[in-house]
A and B are shown apart, each in its own frame.
Chain A
Amino acid sequence: MRPSRPMALAAVLLLTGAPRLAAQAPPRTFTLPGGLRVMLREDQGRLLFRARLRLALRPGDLPPGKEGLADLALRMMDRGEAGQLSPAAFDRALDEGGIRLTRTLSAGALTWELVSRSRDQDRALGLLANRVLRPVLDPATLEPERLACWRDQEAALASPDARLRTALGLDGPPPATEQGLGQLTFADLETFLRRVLRPERALLVLEGDLGLEQAKALVLLSLGTWTGAPLAPEPPVPAAPAAPPPVRIPAPGEPLRVEAAVPPPADLDPSLRDLVLLLLRNDPRLADLLAPDSPGGTLRFTLRAPGQQADAALAALRDRLAALAGRGFTAADLDRARTAWAEAQRVRPLHPEAMLDGDLQEADGLAPRSWAVGAATPGALNGALGRWLDPARIRWAIVGEAAGPRP
């Protein structure tokens, strides 16, 4: 009997690894004496240089009651000197080279993303190093920045959609609160940055027209002096909070909808995570319910229920998710998912940013492994789905105008 195509593919995956490996050379890695890990994706002839510096956040870094700590610290960094450069001079230096530097704060990391013309790569990495290694916080800016931070937060949460995203935990760590910001001291900010801006927590990914030796020289020149001073013991890790009760978000004039969001379990095998995502996001029966994409692999469900009572709509969505959690993926489903996953690896090189994201995942051991994709079983897949959709982990929100009383 001839093996079917998916079975053959699974065998190939098990034996040879992902097709990506055949198409794209894996990044090369090195570590600086200070502990900074570097991954290089060399691409000869590329006219752009990209870098991504990620600093891991640990659960104890953002203690409860100090919501807004990371936001305010990053604002203070932006408004303070970077090395010898004043904030205005720093911004001018970026613009003079057409260099784009952005930062993002997610639940698990601070990330700086850098894009420049290849010819400006030295200057670009030097500026990034100034920003991260040599920030000078000015105590005089604390109060104005605290106020500005709160006002920005208020303005950002003026829209129902932003409140919804916050309620569903889709926008990184818990947002700044007036009380949390009010309690932060200058020392808190310094301690936070000292704890987080450390080479052993950092991972730098580079992509561009530069070889290994050139990359080593470049990184040594910019970041070679980065060392972390001894630290006090890590603060105790707070227990993960249980999912809060449903949040009600008024949105005058908008028809009622109920939303649910649930991130993948932290300890879920990345290969199973990707296979479940592929199957759910490409399930025609969920097309009206499941958002096609949301950050960090979070599943976001929306049930539109115009004219209904909120509690009835909430119950209806709970029932649908319970039914979904209990469904059984079949061996045929798994085969299709394996094929799609393997083929999708060939499409990834069309997106340089996605390749860098993949490298970051790889470094953290969070990237799916082709052998694990090949070895997945329907039982493991269904177990993963059940754990993912555990009702205790789901966040709920009710948006818009309901016909009946509040639940």
Chain B
Amino acid sequence: MRPLAPLLALLVLAPLRGQTPGAAEVQERRLPNGARLLVVERPGLPAFHATLVFRGGRTEEPTNLAGATDLLARALYGHTWPEDVPDGDAATPLEALLKQEEGLQESLRLERLRLKADPSAPSQAAGLEAGLQALQQRVAALQSSEPLSDVYARAGGRQSAAAEADALVADTELPVADLELWARTETRRLARLQLSRFFEARTALIADLRSGQDQGLALLRGAALPGHPYGRNLVDHIPGLEAIRWSDLRAYARRACGPDRLTIVLVGGVGVETALPILTRTLGALPAPEAAEDPVLPGLRSDLGDRRIQAALGGTSRLLVGWRIPARNQPDHLALRMAAQLLDGGRTGRLAVRLVQQKGLATRVAIRMDEPGAREPGLLTIDLWPAEGHSLAELEGALHSELLRFQQEALSPEEWERAEAELDTEQLLAEDTPGRLARALGRAWTESGDWRSFYSEAQRLRTLEPEAVQAAVQTWLQPAHRTTALIEPAFLAGQDPLEAEMAQTLRTLAARRIEDPGQRERLVAEGLRQLRMLPLEERRRTLKLLTAQLPPVAK
């Protein structure tokens, strides 16, 4: 019977490890400098996906360096030029020129600011520009200019990077034979932090920010998460971004991209036995920075009170509601994820069925969890686009009725099973594709402090009870946690009947005192904006009061 003993021991001990079969395929190691390594081997795949996750992200940027993570995603990880990853430690001629360029760029920026303040002052801008141009030509002469100079592109690989609220994430895909090349290149990149395309990256980032993003969501974040880095809108920090210097970003990168903040995730045809020795002598040999405390983030109460904002952003009308919800490592977070799935999962989510298909109040609905991140308390947002002939106020009322129904009425087993099936497919999709799996493991580590939560949450979802989900919704999706944004194309467009009447009344009243029609319209718009902040009943009462002031109509 002896041979059976190990098998029995395995059977007994396996559940105690608390790992799902998925988690068991992840091999975790620590490199000498503290960096974590996760390897998921997929035998037979001729390539690997590598994700470097640096914990921190936009949230941990100091205010004067807002945008630094985005700049690093572009300048550090946008490409892999050979001149940025040279062998050895000696300073390169390129580095010296970049230092000079930084000085000239800064002088020119200050000169332009001076001229803006005093356009009649004598200008040195032309001289500085000429000097800068000459210097840039010398820089360009040292930069790669041939097609397919990029180290990874030349090897058939791909590279991308993203600045996220909680992390800087860099992805690379290469054939298995290039594992050593990748590890060496990444080590040199981090050791040198040359950022040779910094100035171009800064210009492109500012241009992209100016070209627009979802300002509705940015407004909502700002109003719902005041004073917290999660509420920061980079568009408001463009002047600061213009002032970030090459050396500032390099100094920041030394802290933000240190091994103590790094998790390396490899998924593909590479085993841990192959990867570990290579990574130990490359990325694992990077010097560990001196111990530094993590920045202290401002705390934010969830029950800040019901907040409302109204904005005219052009485009289409839209109702955007956000609730402050707990971070990913808090107990109710998973129940809220299930709630989001029930409300807007697949094609038969409650809100789509009730508000779009049955009542015809909205044309579209979208829910987001963890906006903009989940390491800290973030937002659960619901986005609704009104159907023709229906106002945002009407839609808002219907949304809140649906949420009340959700809390009070029993959830049907059919919709619960549909939500579970959807989440199951989502989990399988994440596990199926190497890139998705690598990012999901990295995100789990960043947001909850443990990569295993990617698997354990899927397990816990299966044991959730409907009552727990309803209780979480009752606790968190309540008015004291809520911020509502009414987004309209223009202040006077898309009005509901009450608002149209209000506008007409205000116009008539204003016409008695103000002659200038432009001034009159501005006053009406401002009046409407303020009145929208009031509850519906109070608006009706105000309209009555205003109507009473109108002169009697001649019959």
In the complex the two chains form, is A47's CB within 8 Å of B315's CB?
no
Whether the Cβ atoms of B146 and A333 lie closer than 8 Å is yes
> Chain B residues with Cβ under 8 A from A19's Cβ?
46
Interface range on chain B: under 10, 10 to 19, 20 to 34, or 35 or more? 35 or more
B546 within 8 A of A: no
Q: How many cross-chain pairs have Cβ atoms below 8 Å apart between A and B?
A: 164
Q: Which of B193-212 contact A (CB under 8 A)?
A: 197, 200, 204, 207, 210-212
Within 8 A of B (CB), among A362-393: none
Q: Is the CB of A336 within 8 A of B425?
A: no
B488 to chain A, nearest CB (A): 13
> Are B147 and A47 neighbours in the complex by a CB distance under 8 Å?
no
Partner of A347, one of B143, B158, B345, B357: B158
Give CA–CA (A46, B314) in the complex, Å.
47
Which of chain B's residues have a CB closer than 8 A to the CB of A151?
A: 363, 388
Q: Evaluate contact between A350 and B418: CB separation under 8 angstroms.
A: no
Residue ID in chain B nearest A160 by CB atoms: B212
Complex: how many Å from CA A94 to CA B145?
A: 51
Chain B residues, Cβ within 8 Å of A91 = 346-348
A95 engages B432 (CB within 8 Å): no
CB neighbours of A160 from chain B (8 A)? 212
User: Does A14 touch B at the CB level, under 8 Å?
Assistant: no
Tell which of B47, B144, B433, B435 touches A284, judged by Cβ atoms closer than 8 Å. B144
A1 proximity list for chain B (CB < 8 A):
none
Q: A95-B348, A333-B146 are in contact. Are A350 and B268 (CB under 8 A)?
A: yes
Q: Which residues of B contact A48 (CB under 8 A)?
A: 425, 428-429, 432
A339 within 8 Å of B by Cβ? yes
- On whether the beta carbons of A117 and B147 are closer than 8 Å, the reply is no
Residues of A within 8 A of B426 (CB): 98
Q: Which of B148-156, B390-398, B528-536 contacts A (4 or more CB under 8 A)?
A: B148-156
Q: Are B315 and A158 within 8 A (Cβ)?
A: yes
B147 interface neighbour in A94, A99, A304, A337, Cβ under 8 Å: A337
Cβ of B85 under 8 Å from chain A: no
Q: Cα distance A137–B550 when bound, in Å?
A: 55
Q: Which residue of chain A has its CB nearest to the CB of B431?
A: A47
CB closest chain-A residue, reference B178: A343
Q: Which listed residue (A98, A332, A344, A346) contacts B425, Cβ 8 A?
A: A98
Question: Could you tell me if A282 and B147 are in contact, using CB atoms closer than 8 angstroms?
Answer: yes
Could you tell me if A347 and B173 are in contact, using CB atoms closer than 8 angstroms? yes
Query: Is the pair B315, A282 in contact by a Cβ cutoff of 8 Å?
Result: no
Q: Is the CB of A345 within 8 A of B433?
A: no
Query: What B residues does A287 contact at CB under 8 A?
Result: 79, 197, 200
Q: Does B494 contact A (CB under 8 A)?
A: no
The answer for the CA separation of A98 and B48 in the assembled complex, in Å, is 29
Report which of A95, A148, A152, A279 forms a contact with B347, defined as CB distance below 8 A: A95
Assess whether B61 is interfacial by the CB under 8 Å rule.
Answer: no
B174-197 contacts to A (CB < 8 Å)? 174-176, 178, 197
Query: Which of B157, B200, B418, B421 is the one whose CB lies under 8 Å from A343?
Result: B157
A327-355 toward B: CB 8 Å interface, digit per residue (1/0)?
A: 00100110011011111111111111000
Q: Are A94 and B346 in contact (CB under 8 A)?
A: yes
Would you call A130 an interface residue if the criterion is a C-beta within 8 Å of the partner chain's C-beta atoms? no
Interface centre among B81, B147, B212, B433 (most CB of A within 10 A): B147
Closest A residue by C-beta to B48: A350
State whether B435 touches A350 (Cβ < 8 A).
yes
- Tell me whether B316 is interfacial, beta carbon within 8 Å: yes
A333 touching B422 by the CB < 8 A rule?
no
Q: Bound state CA distance, A80 and B243, in angstroms?
A: 57
Q: Which residues of B contact A115 (CB under 8 A)?
A: 425, 429
- For chain A, give the interface size range: 35 or more
Q: Give the complex CA separation of A19 and B420 in angstroms.
A: 41
CB-nearest residue of chain A to B345: A95
Q: Known: A47-B428, A336-B147, A343-B175. Contact between A97 and B207, CB under 8 A?
A: no
Across the interface, do B147 and A280 meet the contact criterion of CB distance under 8 Å?
yes
Q: Is A319 an interface residue (CB 8 A)?
A: no
- B417–A352 touching, CB < 8 Å: no
Are B146 and A94 in touch, CB under 8 angstroms? no
Q: Which residues of A contact B314 (CB under 8 A)?
A: 158, 252
Interface of chain B residues 401 through 431 with chain A (CB within 8 A) = 414, 417-418, 420-426, 428-429, 431
Give the distance in Å from the alpha carbon of A161 to the alpha carbon of B213 in the complex. Answer: 11
Instruction: Fill in one digit per residue for B441-462: 1 if any A CB lies within 8 Å of its CB, else 0.
Output: 0000000000000000000000
State the CA gap A257–B46 with chains docked (Å): 42
A340–B346 touching, CB < 8 Å: no
Chain B's closest residue to A46 (CB) is B432
Is the C-beta of B434 less than 8 angstroms from some C-beta in chain A?
yes
Verify B316–A158 contact, CB threshold 8 A.
Answer: yes
Residue A278 interfacial (CB < 8 Å): yes
B385 near A: Cβ within 8 Å? Answer: yes
- Contact among A117, A282, A349 with B47 in the assembled complex (CB-CB below 8 Å): A349
Given the interface pairs A96-B417, A117-B425, A255-B210, the reply to whether A47 lies near B432 with Cβ below 8 Å is yes
Binding site for B on A (CB under 8 A): 19, 23-24, 46-48, 88, 91-92, 94-100, 115-117, 148, 151-152, 155, 158-161, 251-255, 257, 278-280, 282-285, 287-288, 304, 306, 329, 332-333, 336-337, 339-352
9 extra interface residue pairs, beta carbon distance < 8 Å, beyond A279-B148, A340-B156:
A92-B418, A98-B421, A98-B422, A161-B212, A280-B147, A284-B147, A343-B178, A348-B47, A350-B49
- Listed in ascending order, the chain B residues whose CB lies under 8 Å from chain A are 45-49, 79, 81, 143-150, 153-158, 173-176, 178, 197, 200, 204, 207, 210-212, 268, 314-316, 345-348, 357, 363, 385, 388, 414, 417-418, 420-426, 428-429, 431-435
